[in-house]
Structure 1
Amino acid sequence: MSAFEQTLTRRTVLGGVAAAGAAVTLAGTPAAAAAAPASFLPADPLLHLLRRATFGPSPASIAEIRRLGAKAWLDRQLNPSAIPDKVVDGLLTRLPLSGLGITDIRAQVSAGKLKQYSWDPMWQLAFAAAGRAIWSERQLFEVMVDFWSNHLNVTCPYGDVWDSRVDYDRNVIRKYALGSFADLLKASARHPAMLTYLDNRYSTKAAPNENYGRELLELHTVGLAYTESDVLGAARLLTGLTVDHATGKYRYDAAGHATGAIRVLSFQHANATAAGGEAAALALLDYLALHPVTARRIVTKLCVRFVADEPPAGLITALVKVYLDNKSAIVPVLRALFTSAEFAASIGAKTRTPLEDLAATVRTLGYGPATSGTKFLESLYWMCRDAGHAPLFWGPPNGYPDVASAWASPSGLLVRWNFHLSIAAGWWPDTLVRPASLATGMVGVLPATYGALIAAVGTRLLGVAPTAQQTAALAAFYGKTPASPLKPNDPAVGWMFPYLMGMLLNSPSFALR
């Protein structure tokens, strides 16, 4: 078969095999996903949990959850500090700037090792985020880090937080990702990165800046359930929460705090002294974190992330009670969510975002990180950025969207299809650790027929074999039928094998999570 014929055939197959995937991805509605044939995803509840609570099933995670069972696996994931993470630990040693504190970064500037305002630490943090999503054993923790990084977004890289954004990731998002939202909110409110990003560091009693007060209400807590008077009250109460210019660290400046009685929603505080201003601000944050409207917003966002773009109202109501009963602790909410009947019934109701799609691609292939350097991480990051979803890079303060309709475009779908094949074939990145023989590495002993090969690879990568129609189309790509004998020296299990992997990854079975 000529290269021209191969190209034409591949287009035909992509049209037949992936058209349904495009329909699900481009339609972008829960109804479209729910209408997908049951054969698109396996009904296996263990695989369903893996697809939602991780960045995608990997051969190792599938083996682990089958060995442990759903409850023990979930218990383990909800206690991430007890999970060794050797691969990611090794990757982070190649990205030494990604874990530095504010003092460390400034010390490197003073020593001439970094230029002032350098983005290098933030770039390394972003590259690390891609690596963690793919190779961390603490998958649910990393998913929650991504969730909170969006909810309490501080764009990375971003010039004004050059010395604090890396510390924000470590000492706010990661520290409290599986803690209580109240503690997370208070930590973010007193961190230089958030105070700088939303301008509160420049807010004084003489000129209160409303940016952080407004986003605290609208994005971080109660949503649109506020008035302009509430924004002004919050802005006044938050004055004095600032950043020390000399050290770059948080400090409370009593001299800059606006005193006087404050009312925000039903929260009231005398705010009588400047010395007590910080305590008053923290009291407001506690009030907002435990407000029933905040509880509903946080729970709804968790349900959108893990259940459906339009989650069941009954599940939201039940989880709001769990949230409030546990004073905003997140682990009880997650445990109740993942063990709910609504979660079990939600197979096919979510579509992967570009970041999830890329991470899931590497994970399902089972490829390992390059044995040295960071170029492969940078390549993976730029792939995400080409798809519009570079980790941590969202510009506005509301964080990346988490519904299918936000990512629905023909160009976005094409970008995904291209990186499926590039990664599978080892073209880019070209240093990921892959099996010496892709075909036998994927399925072991080669099957006797093309149909059996396609079924085996589909089951290996997607958890479900392609339909008879899809199998016939894939076999036709090689000029064969499903019944055609498969020979060890056939291109289909040699240089053309990556095309089979790529086309399967282009299917709706992989687009859904």
Structure 2
Amino acid sequence: MSISEQTLTRRGVMGGMAAAGAAAALATGAPAVAAAAAPAPAAFLPADPLLHLLRRATFGPGPSSIAEIRRLGAKAWLDRQLDPSSIADPVADGVLARLPLARLGIDEIRARVAAGTLKQYGWEPMWQLGYAALTRALWSERQLLEVMTDLWSNHLNVTCPSGDVWDSRTDYDTMIRKHALGKFSDLLKASARHPAMLTYLDNRYSTRAAPNENYGRELLELHTVGQGHTEADVKNAARLFTGLTVDRATGRYRYDAAEHATGAIRVLDFQHANTTATGGEAAALALLDHLALHPLTARRIVTRLCVRFVADEPPASLITTLVKVYLDNRSAIAPVLRALFGSAEFAASIGAKTRTPYEDLAATVRILGYGPATSGTKFLESLYGMARDAGQAPLAWGPPNGYPDVAAAWASPSGLLVRWNFHLSIAAGWWPETLVRPASLLTGTVGALPATYGALIEKTAVRLCGIAPTAKQIAALAEFYGKTPASPLKANDPAAGWMYPYLMGMLLNSPSFALR
């Protein structure tokens, strides 16, 4: 078969395999509303509830996580994930040790600047933080913690890398990770007093003579209630947060009573006399506690969780149920997650979510079971570059609202092509070439050499996508090799050697893999 014939056949295969599903799931941005006569998205995924939980509560199933959840069952697996400190994480920790700047606090970064080993306003710690986020998404055993850290990093977004937070952005990530599975009220208060947020949304420059409204506005519009507030509420919130600033000498948070604007405050249904400058910080924290437990905030947070874990347009019944759980538990997130994952609406949501580009990249490495390179960080830079080329480098979203998590936001033919390219590149080991892969891709993926091309295709599909292709799809994939499903497969056939990654790539390009 000539190269041109192979190319044409591959196009035909991809047309048959992906037109109905990938076009519906990605190009239209609506996985739950497929094209006329196309199968429903759920048809592209196995009905297995354990795999469904893995696809949603992690960055993608991998061979070890599939084995683990089958051994433990859903409840024990979730219990373990909600207690991340109990989970050993040697692979991710080993890679993170190569990224020492990603773990530095504000004092440590400034000390290195003073010693001349780091540049003031330098971005190297923030670049390493981006690589660290990618590392954890790909190889951490604490997957639910990483998913929730990513969710909160977008909800309370501080762009990384960004020049003004050169000394505080790595510490901000540490703060989010600490509270990711705790109470939203604690996370909100920690974020409001963190130098990275105070810098990013300009509250560090807000004074009683000239209150800056940026943080007060985003606090109401993005971080908490989302609606129902007025311009007066924004202005009053801004006044109440004057004095929450960053010490110029140390880069750390401090409260400056001299710059706090006193006077009665009303924000929505919150009122405070705010009579003394020394009591301004306590008044600001009281507002944050009030907002964290406001019914509109409960609905906003619950909806965000449901969009991440259930559907782009979550069922109203589930949101109503989870709002009560959130409020009854004083904004504790773990009970909300338990109720969400145990709900009938979650169980019925197979096929209702599409992977984002970043998640697609992580899921590719995870399902292949490839390990990190044994040394260096060049492979992380390559993977980070792939995510960036797909439009979603970790933590790098510019506006305050964070990366979107609905299919329509990522729907483009060019974006789909980027994904297809990195599927094949990673699977084949072309780039990055230093990921640890099986000596034989075929036997490392499906075990012993299958007897026929049909068996090879079916076993590979089940291994990578969790579901067997239809007979028509198997025939189309066999035709790529100029064979039929019944054709005998020999050990020296290209399909069992150098051309096997093309089968892997085509299956990773399918709608079965595109769906979360």
Instruction: Decide whether the 8 Å contact of 1:30 with 1:309 is kept in 2.
Output: no
Instruction: Decide whether the 8 Å contact of 2:31 with 2:41 is kept in 1.
Output: no
Shift of 1:23: 2.3
* Alignment correspondent of 1:443: 446
Counterpart amino acid of residue 206 in structure 1: A
Give the Cα–Cα distance (whole angstroms) in 2 for the partners of residues 405 and 338 of structure 1: 24
Instruction: Decide whether the 8 Å contact of 1:267 with 1:287 is kept in 2.
Output: yes
* Alignment correspondent of 1:257: 260
Shift of 1:36: 2.1
What aligned pairs does 1:256-335 form with structure 2 within 5 A after superposition? 256-335=259-338
Give the Cα–Cα distance (whole angstroms) in 2 for the partners of residues 340 and 254 of structure 1: 48
* Alignment correspondent of 1:470: 473
Give the Cα–Cα distance (whole angstroms) in 2 for the partners of residues 56 and 36 of structure 1: 21
Shift of 1:30: 4.7
* Alignment correspondent of 1:362: 365
Post-superposition CA distance 1:253-302 (Å, at most 9, x none): 00000000000001000000000000000000000000000000000010
Shift of 1:3: 1.9
Give the Cα–Cα distance (whole angstroms) in 1 for the partners of residues 317 and 334 of structure 2: 19
Structure 1's 406 and 37: CA in aligned 2 closer, same or farther, altered over 3 A? closer
* Alignment correspondent of 2:219: 216
Give the Cα–Cα distance (whole angstroms) in 2 for the partners of residues 393 and 39 of structure 1: 34
Counterpart amino acid of residue 367 in structure 2: T
* Alignment correspondent of 1:91: 95
Does residue 116 (structure 1) correspond to residue 117 (structure 2)? The answer is: no
Instruction: Decide whether the 8 Å contact of 2:45 with 2:351 is kept in 1.
Output: yes
* Alignment correspondent of 1:29: 30
| Count of residues in correspondence between the two structures | 512
Give the Cα–Cα distance (whole angstroms) in 2 for the partners of residues 35 and 242 of structure 1: 55
Structure 1's 37 and 303: CA in aligned 2 closer, same or farther, altered over 3 A? closer
CA RMSD in angstroms, aligned pairs only: 0.9
Give the Cα–Cα distance (whole angstroms) in 1 for the partners of residues 355 and 33 of structure 2: 14
* Alignment correspondent of 2:353: 350
Instruction: Decide whether the 8 Å contact of 1:180 with 1:327 is kept in 2.
Output: yes
What aligned pairs does 1:398-477 form with structure 2 within 5 A after superposition? 398-477=401-480
Counterpart amino acid of residue 60 in structure 1: S
Shift of 1:17: 1.4
Give the Cα–Cα distance (whole angstroms) in 2 for the partners of residues 48 and 37 of structure 1: 13
Does residue 161 (structure 1) correspond to residue 145 (structure 2)? The answer is: no
Matched-pair identity in %? 82
Shift of 1:14: 1.7
The runs of at least 4 consecutive aligned structure 1 residues that moved more than 4 Å come to none
Shift of 1:224: 2.2
Counterpart amino acid of residue 233 in structure 1: N
Post-superposition CA distance 1:2-48 (Å, at most 9, x none): 22222222222122212121222112225326952544100000000
Post-superposition CA distance 1:331-365 (Å, at most 9, x none): 00000000000000000000000011000000000
Give the Cα–Cα distance (whole angstroms) in 2 for the partners of residues 439 and 250 of structure 1: 55
Of 500, 504, 507, which aligns to 1:504? 507
Give the Cα–Cα distance (whole angstroms) in 2 for the partners of residues 60 and 425 of structure 1: 21
Counterpart amino acid of residue 44 in structure 2: F
Counterpart amino acid of residue 161 in structure 2: P
Counterpart amino acid of residue 42 in structure 1: P
* Structure 2 counterpart SS, 1:31: coil
Post-superposition CA distance 1:388-431 (Å, at most 9, x none): 00000000000000000000000000000000000000000100
* Structure 2 counterpart SS, 1:251: strand
* Alignment correspondent of 2:16: 16
Of 379, 385, 395, which aligns to 1:376? 379
Post-superposition CA distance 1:51-100 (Å, at most 9, x none): 00000000000000000000000000000010001111111110000000
Instruction: Decide whether the 8 Å contact of 2:202 with 2:212 is kept in 1.
Output: yes
Give the Cα–Cα distance (whole angstroms) in 1 for the partners of residues 328 and 263 of structure 2: 33
Instruction: Decide whether the 8 Å contact of 1:241 with 1:251 is kept in 2.
Output: yes
What aligned pairs does 1:142-153 form with structure 2 within 5 A after superposition? 142-153=146-157
Unmatched segments (≥5 aa) in structure 2 = none
TM-score of the superposition, structure 2-length normalised? 0.98
Unmatched segments (≥5 aa) in structure 1 = none
Instruction: Decide whether the 8 Å contact of 2:42 with 2:350 is kept in 1.
Output: no
Does residue 227 (structure 1) correspond to residue 242 (structure 2)? The answer is: no
Structure 1's 27 and 35: CA in aligned 2 closer, same or farther, altered over 3 A? farther
* Structure 1 counterpart SS, 2:430: coil
Instruction: Decide whether the 8 Å contact of 1:18 with 1:503 is kept in 2.
Output: no
Give the Cα–Cα distance (whole angstroms) in 2 for the partners of residues 350 and 478 of structure 1: 32
Shift of 1:119: 0.1
Counterpart amino acid of residue 23 in structure 2: A
TM-score of the superposition, structure 1-length normalised? 0.99
Instruction: Decide whether the 8 Å contact of 2:25 with 2:41 is kept in 1.
Output: no
Shift of 1:468: 1.0
Post-superposition CA distance 1:216-262 (Å, at most 9, x none): 00000000221000000000000000000000000000000000000
Instruction: Decide whether the 8 Å contact of 1:145 with 1:177 is kept in 2.
Output: yes
Post-superposition CA distance 1:82-139 (Å, at most 9, x none): 0001111111110000000001001111111011111000000001111110100000
